[in-house]
Amino acid sequence: MAWIYMIDEESAEGKLKASYEKMTAPWGGVDNILKIHSLSPKSLDAHYELYKTLMTSTRDLRKV
């Protein structure tokens, strides 16, 4: 089984902390699928933008 080191919300600092703050889900945390990018905030932000695009509805596509 693969294991990916992730920095949790409580340990995040700087840019990562700022990114986590905008990504905090309604349940109060950051999804693990996003936290796997915690060592690379640039890729985290890119993944989050993709995630938001896919998970929100448009006039042609219903919300997931």
pLDDT tens-place string over residues 20-55: 999 887 778 898 999 999 999 999 999 999 988 877
If pLDDT is split at 50, 70 and 90, which confidence band does 63 have? low
Cα distance between residue 36 and residue 33, in whole Å: 6
Instruction: For tokens 């990562």, name the residue.
Output: 16
8: Cα separation from own chain's centroid: 11
If pLDDT is split at 50, 70 and 90, which confidence band does 59 have? confident
If pLDDT is split at 50, 70 and 90, which confidence band does 58 have? confident
Q: Bigger pLDDT: 5 or 25?
A: 5
